[in-house]
Amino acid sequence: MRENVPKLYIVIPCYNEEEILHQSMDILKGKLQRLVQTGKVTSDSRIVCVDDGSKDGTWDIIAERADKDDIFLGLRFSRNYGHQNAILAGMLESRKAADCVVTIDADLQQDVEALDDFLAKYMEGCDVVYGVRNDRDTDKAGKKFTAEAFYKLMKFLGVDMLPNSADYRLLSSKALEALSEYPESNLFLRGLIPTMGFKSDIVYFDVKDRTGGQSKYTLSKMMGLALNGITSMSTRPLELIVVIGLFFCLLALVIFIISMIDWARGMVVKGWTTTVALLCLIGGMNLLTNGLVGLYVGKSYIEIKHRPRYIIDQAIWDGNDK
């Protein structure tokens, strides 16, 4: 149980969100003010907008409002580093000032009213509170299917992850401090945070349609995220290669025995189709598995460089332009 009213920082990653950012900032500000009035958070709580290298007027909106209104803080990346890094930057930069941080998407598809539940769980003593969506009815059929398949695959690969958990979650400053110790470049927060432990709980929320603009998650961004999810959390695909290899060795043995019997009977030309088919199959498998190993080698190469995960070009933080 916690007793002191927490100082809350809400982090919103923004990438080309000029169409809806004003509206989202208004809604969040209204919500935060209500939380202050009802004594759920302190009056020096803040909303941190992280501009992930937008090409439109997103930063102008953030800068203008952060200059005028103390409740808004702004960070601007030097280029597009992706959603996960934007969330990470917002959280890490806030961790010294805030008692807890909630991350939420700029389109506010996630219900802001759930913030009360997040804070209630925090007051109960949780350091991590996961947001889990009630259903996927608002998703397009394709997205729903791929998301479900991905969560099933992750489970099969042995990754401890809450199905349908979103990057809508609360972390206490203690959990954020722990998160800052993870140096990985291939970031997949949904998989990583459960591995940290801590007292945690779940809050269920509804997902609405985007009110403006397009989804900023292009197919290639989505595939990149899924790939990072797999390669950063599990090495099971590499183990599976060994299993597949073993299977083909056994198959080869069986075929060898059959061929020897055929040879002994003087029926040597039979089996041409099998030979060609197996040749193709094994050739294909070879390329695929080598590629998979290469994928991990590539990811390790990126990790080993220890490059910064994001670079902040500009910051408007507590009235100062850093």
In the region spanning residues 79 to 98, those forming contacts with Mg ion, defined by CB under 5 A, are: none
> What one-letter code names the amino acid at 134?
N
Please provide residue 126's backbone torsions phi and psi, each rounded to the nearest 5 degrees. -75, 145
Q: Does residue 208 sit in helix, strand or coil?
A: coil
Site string for ligand UDP, 3-22 (x = CB under 6 A): ----------xxx-x-----
Answer for which of 216, 229, 230, 316 binds ligand UDP (CB under 6 A) is 216
CA–CA dist 35, 45 (Å, integer): 10
Q: Which structure tokens are listed for 308?
A: 């910064």
Please choose, out of 93-101, 106-114, 146-154, 184-192, the segment that lies near ligand UDP by the rule CB under 6 A.
106-114
Q: Buried b / exposed e across 42-61, counting CB within 10 Å, b at 16+? A: eeebbbbbbbbbbeeebbeb
| Cα–Cα distance for residue pair 281/212, rounded to 1 Å | 48
Q: Residue 319 Cβ, how far from ligand UDP at the closest point, in Å?
A: 25
Closest CB to ligand UDP among 125 and 163? Answer: 163
- What phi and psi, each to the nearest 5 degrees, are found at residue 308? -60, 145
The option from ligand UDP, Mg ion, none interacting with 40 (CB < 5 to 8 A, set by class) reads none
* Nearest distance, CB of residue 301 and Mg ion, angstroms: 32
State the minimum distance, in angstroms, from the CB of residue 140 to ligand UDP. 10
Tell me: does residue 215 bind ligand UDP (CB under 6 A): yes
Amino acid at 178: A
What is the bridge-based pairing of β-strands 165-172 and 100-103? antiparallel
- Residue 179 interacting entry, from Mg ion, ligand UDP, none, C-beta within 5 to 8 Å by type: none
Of residues 25 through 84, those in contact with ligand UDP by CB under 6 A are: 52, 80, 82-83
The answer to the question of residue 18 lying near Mg ion (CB under 5 A) is: no
> Cα(273)–Cα(189) distance, rounded to whole angstroms?
48
The answer to whether 66 touches 73, Cβ cutoff 8 Å, is yes
Our CA angle for 180, 117, 130, nearest 5°, is 40
What is the rounded distance in angstroms from the CA atom of residue 182 to the CA atom of residue 193?
A: 10
CB nearer to ligand UDP: give 136 or 174. Answer: 136
Q: How far is the CB of 215 from ligand UDP (least distance, A)?
A: 3
The yes or no reply on residue 107 touching Mg ion (CB under 5 A) is yes
Query: Could you give the CA distance from residue 81 to residue 64 in angstroms, rounded to a whole number?
Result: 23
Closer residue to ligand UDP in complex, CB, 37/215: 215
Bridging pattern class, strands 46-51 and 8-14: parallel
Give the interface segment with Mg ion, choosing from 49-57, 67-75, 105-113, 245-253 (CB under 5 A). 105-113
Binding site residues, ligand UDP, CB under 6 A:
13-15, 17, 52, 80, 82-83, 86, 105-107, 109, 215-217, 221
Binding site residues, Mg ion, CB under 5 A:
105, 107, 109
